[in-house]
């Protein structure tokens, strides 16, 4: 059977190891310059894979022109899954990179069939949440896909000339016209920063959830074919594991009961944590005797991705494994840490006024 990743599917990717052998994603472990990768997303293998990330890092270290570019679908309030990318961007800024964020309003329109006014509203919300999460406003530029009009029209036309339907189907599986256009638009997002018109050559890094890898494979193929004509080179990318929802399936705005949103109220956080899937045993007696199974536990996943430093994480893991802590008590700790994190985020969000956000949107939505 053929194995494919579908970037428009809601299901969860389970077998991360297959991605190395089947798709040629490189494991993050043997990357040089580890001293630059101190963030726990790297040390905990949450960012587990990459393509040519070593080349991008080398360019950064040498002082060559580099940029980090990624994108978001503006179809709802961001949740913790989205915040993973904010967190990564913040880290890349801390090691010296400029960041460009695309708001995928054209994709939301064509593939998700979202309402235009809502999309624009959520796009602005995204900008505010990204800045509230701590992105450096001086090093962050936002743009809407629909703002790119002539530049993208021309690029997409050029790309379409050198790609066949069979190649696209091999990457994506079943396609619709909306998906074809959206895929080529995303390739334009990924490659355009290298063009003269957009400031000239730079090394592009695209940090994303691994579900987006098909777009990177297409972008790399396109770059190869336009090396001569447009002077394009292959983009680099990093891949993180997708944060699961509180029931163990994918965290997604289409299943709000199992996601934690960045504007979530204390009351709903409490309810959601209370019903989260854990690795606890059937009875307290059993759990004290056998210990819990943190690798099955969504509370432990929250700890690992967002809530605890190395020392605290180790302690909870040991306490859980040895049956020294029960899930009720453990959930209380997670609840308090999470509420604190969201409370701080909301506070910064309130401080960021509309004007600051709008000023950072270099290219505004059109049509
Ligand atoms: N397709 C991405 C998503 O669904 C959004 C996106 C658009 C993107 N253009 C991009 C991501 C360029 C990375 C790079 O979330
Ligand atoms: Fe998860 Fe904590 Fe229960 Fe262990 S004790 S299974 S980490 S909730």
Cα atoms in the 13 Å half-sphere on the side-chain side of 273: 25
Task: Compute the distance from residue 72 Cα to the ligand 1 centre, in Å.
Answer: 5
pLDDT at 1 over 90: no
pLDDT at 10 over 70: no
Average pLDDT in the chain: 94
pTM: 0.95
Can you list the domains of the chain with their CATH numbers? 18-246 (3.40.50.620), 256-355 (1.10.240.10)
Nearest atom (ligand 2) to Cα of 298 = 1
Which residues, in sequence order, are CB contacts of 25 under 8 Å at separation 6+? Answer: 19, 49, 50, 51, 210, 213, 239
Higher pLDDT, 6 or 97: 97
Q: What is the rounded average pLDDT of the residues 210-227?
A: 97
pLDDT in the model for residue 20: 87
Q: With bands split at pLDDT 50, 70 and 90, how would you rate the model's confidence at 18?
A: confident
Q: What is the rounded average pLDDT of the residues 312-338?
A: 97
Task: Compute the distance from residue 245 Cα to the ligand 1 centre, in Å.
Answer: 20
- Determine the distance from the C-alpha atom of residue 342 to the mean position of all C-alpha atoms in its chain, rounded to a whole number: 18
Q: What is the rounded average pLDDT of the residues 151-166?
A: 96
193: nearest Cα among 68, 362, 88: 68
Q: What is the DSSP string of 46-82?
A: SEEEEESHHHHHHHHHHT--EEEEEEE--SS--BHHH
User: Residues lining ligand 2, CB < 6 A?
Assistant: 278-280, 292, 294, 297, 299-300, 320, 325, 327, 330-331
């Amino acid at each position: 059977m053929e194995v494919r990743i579908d970037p428009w599917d809601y299901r969860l990717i389970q077998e991360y190891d297959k991605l190395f052998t089947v798709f040629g994603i490189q494991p993050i472990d043997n990357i040089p310059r580890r001293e630059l990768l101190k963030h726990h997303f790297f040390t905990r293998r949450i960012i587990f894979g990459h393509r040519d990330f070593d080349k991008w890092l080398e360019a950064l270290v040498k002082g060559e022109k580099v940029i980090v570019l990624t994108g978001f679908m503006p179809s709802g309030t961001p949740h913790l899954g989205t915040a993973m990318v904010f967190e990564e961007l913040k880290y890349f800024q801390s090691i010296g990179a400029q960041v460009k964020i695309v708001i995928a309003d054209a994709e939301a329109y064509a593939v998700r069939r979202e309402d235009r006014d809502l999309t624009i509203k959520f796009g602005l919300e995204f900008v505010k949440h990204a800045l509230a999460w701590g992105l450096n406003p001086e090093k962050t530029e936002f743009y809407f896909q629909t703002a790119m009009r002539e530049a993208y029209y021309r690029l997409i036309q050029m790309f379409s000339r050198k790609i066949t339907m069979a190649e696209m189907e091999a990457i994506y599986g079943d396609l619709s016209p909306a998906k074809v256009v959206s895929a080529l638009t995303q390739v334009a997002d990924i490659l355009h920063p290298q063009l003269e018109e957009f400031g000239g050559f730079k090394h592009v890094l695209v940090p994303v959830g691994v579900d987006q890898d098909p777009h990177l494979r297409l972008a790399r193929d396109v770059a190869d074919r336009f090396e001569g004509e447009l002077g394009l080179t292959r983009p680099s990318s990093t891949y993180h594991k997708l944060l699961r929802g509180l029931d163990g399936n994918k965290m997604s705005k289409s299943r709000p009961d199992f996601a934690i949103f960045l504007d979530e109220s204390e009351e709903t956080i409490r309810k959601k944590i209370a019903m989260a899937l854990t690795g606890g045993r059937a009875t307290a007696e059993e759990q004290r005797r056998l210990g819990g199974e943190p690798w099955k536990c969504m509370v432990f996943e929250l700890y690992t991705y967002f809530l605890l430093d190395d020392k605290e994480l180790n302690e909870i893991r040991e306490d859980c494994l040895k049956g020294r802590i029960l899930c009720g008590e453990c959930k209380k700790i997670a609840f308090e840490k999470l509420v604190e994190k969201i409370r701080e985020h909301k506070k910064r969000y309130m401080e960021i006024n509309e004007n600051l956000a709008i000023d950072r949107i270099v290219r505004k939505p059109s049509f």
